[in-house]
Amino acid sequence: MEVKIGVQHAPREIVLESGQSVEEVESAVSEALSGKAQLLTLADDKGRKVLVPADRLAYVEIGEPTVRKVGFGAL
């Protein structure tokens, strides 16, 4: 699944492909925003972790990845 994270005072958003479920991502975000966790921690498909300070979160967008079309076809 594709996750986009907006960070305050940062010109670009963080985009990652995560193998976590929607429920896991939502619970991690809600824990960070409620103050239970100081960091939002998510893992991507390549095994890397993304850590964002909870007080710097602007938004989190959770969605399905877009499928890239390859080749030529009728429009």
Looking at residue 70, what is its pLDDT?
Answer: 74
pTM to 2 decimals? Answer: 0.78
Residue 44 lies in a domain: yes
Domain count, the chain: 1
Task: Write out the residue range of the structural domain in which residue 50 sits.
Answer: 2-63
Contact 60, 41 (CB under 8 A): no
CA–CA distance, 19 with 43 (Å, rounded to integer): 8
How many other C-beta atoms are found inside a 10 Å radius of the C-beta of residue 13?
14
Find where tokens 């939502």 sit.
26
Q: Which residues pair with 2 in a beta bridge?
A: 17, 63
pLDDT in tens, 8-51: 999 999 999 998 888 999 999 999 999 899 999 999 988 899 99
Whether 22 is covered by a domain: the verdict is yes
Q: Tell me what pLDDT residue 1 has.
A: 87
Question: Does the residue 70 lie in any domain?
Answer: no
Task: Note whether residue 31 is domain-resident.
Answer: yes
Q: What percentage of the chain carries pLDDT values higher than 70?
A: 88
